[in-house]
Amino acid sequence: MSQIKQNSERLLPVAIVGKSALFPVALTPKAFWPNLLGLKGLMTGLATSQWPFSEFFSTQDLKNLKGFVMNSGLLTSGGLPADGFEIPPEILKISTVLPVVGLFLAKQALEDTRSFQKGGIRGDQVKVVLETRNDNASQPPSRQNIAELFASHFGFTTSPVNDSAPLPGTLAWLGTAVQELQAGTVDLV
């Protein structure tokens, strides 16, 4: 990304919460857990100590939630794949606890960049991309508000994206995040 090229002396981590399904690190769904725990692929650098599974999932939840790693993560700085990064919806298993884990991961990523000076990202250089829908009645309130509550709590600015359908909305979200980074207006989206 141009932001990284402009600042080659300081490589910035990029937290993508809720949309890491765009960046598969395994060829089959069953390989996602081993890759996560082995820190392989694009989600390298995220220590297993940062994933307190027991706080969010029972043992049975973990057995059933093969799509978890595909929904949130911390990407190391580097180029985005040009194509071939879509995952068919039937592969993903959705759970009501995913927004909670996404919120935890976003908070953890921000704490890491601040506490350990991994990126030195200032609060005014963080932007939260909010998904909005034309049909608000079909969207559960908790899912609709979680990113907005997160942004409000930390005092971050927001960038709304209209999500009219799952795939177009996802691509619009990614496009907005990449544009913000390339423009140099933010360091972390």
Would you state the pLDDT for residue 124? 72
Q: Is the pLDDT of residue 162 over 70?
A: no
Residue 153 belongs to some domain of the structure = yes
pLDDT in tens, 127-150: 777 766 555 545 444 444 556 766
Q: Which of the four pLDDT bands, split at 50, 70 and 90, describes residue 24?
A: very low
Tally of CB atoms within 10 A around 12: 20
Average pLDDT value for residue range 3-7: 44
Mean pLDDT of the chain: 51
Are β-strands 14-17 and 127-132 bridged in parallel, bridged antiparallel, or unpaired?
unpaired
Place of tokens 């940062």: 50
Residue 188 belongs to some domain of the structure = no
Q: Tell me the C-alpha distance between 8 and 163, whole Å.
A: 33
Q: Is the pLDDT of residue 43 over 50?
A: no
Residue 189 belongs to some domain of the structure = no
Would you state the pLDDT for residue 183? 72
Amino acid 56 reads F
Q: Is the pLDDT of residue 156 over 70?
A: yes
Would you state the pLDDT for residue 19? 37
Nearest residue to 163 (alpha-carbon basis) of 150, 152, 174 = 174
Question: Above pLDDT 90, what percent of the chain?
Answer: 0
Instruction: Write phi, then psi, for 156 (nearest 5 degrees).
Output: -90, 150
Q: Is the pLDDT of residue 94 over 50?
A: no
Domain span holding position 38 = 2-183
Task: Considering only residues 170 and 175, tell me which one the structure prediction assigns the higher pLDDT.
Answer: 175
Number of domains in the chain: 1
Residue 18 belongs to some domain of the structure = yes
Q: Has this prediction a pTM greater than 0.95? A: no
Min mean pLDDT across 40-54, 133-147, 149-163 is at: 40-54
Q: Is the pLDDT of residue 189 over 60?
A: yes
